Amino acid sequence: MEFKDVHRTSYHFATLYRRRQVIATSRNRIGSRSKGCGWDDQSLHAERAVVKRLGDLSQLRGCTLEVVRLDKNNDVKGSKPCRDCQLFLEKCMREYGLRKVIYSI
């Protein structure tokens, strides 16, 4: 994937897999709280965006979530969840059966 935007520092991409099949993908986006659940003051994080795109939380059962960060040169960089996303994903694992979360290093 090639993304060129002179104003960005990086993009986070999130992909949900089940049995080696992609069931949803998304990335971080700029927005506001008025756009609905999952927005912080500036953006919708990729982890929440992909779950929101999936729609039905029961479909998380048995899935693996992979999050990758690309810098402005499209090089893979380390990705680490913010505290809110970490709590959100722990809830998804505990209550909805999300199996595993993988971040780029």
| CA dist list (Å): 68 to 15, 71, 82, 96 | 9, 10, 14, 22
Residues paired with 103 in a beta bridge: 67
pTM: 0.79
Q: Is 57 helix (H, G, I), strand (E, B) or coil?
A: helix
Percent above pLDDT 90 for the chain:
52
Least confident of 36-45, 60-69, 84-93: 36-45
Q: Which amino acid belongs to residue 102?
A: I
47 near 85, Cβ under 8 Å?
Answer: yes
Greater confidence (69 vs 44) lies with 69
pLDDT at res. 72: 85
Higher pLDDT: 43 or 73? It is 73
Backbone dihedral region of 91: left (phi > 0), alpha (psi from -120 to 50 degrees) or beta?
alpha
Q: In the structure, what pLDDT confidence band is assigned to residue 61 with cuts at 50, 70 and 90?
A: very high
pLDDT of residue 9: 74
Position with higher pLDDT, 42 vs 75: 75
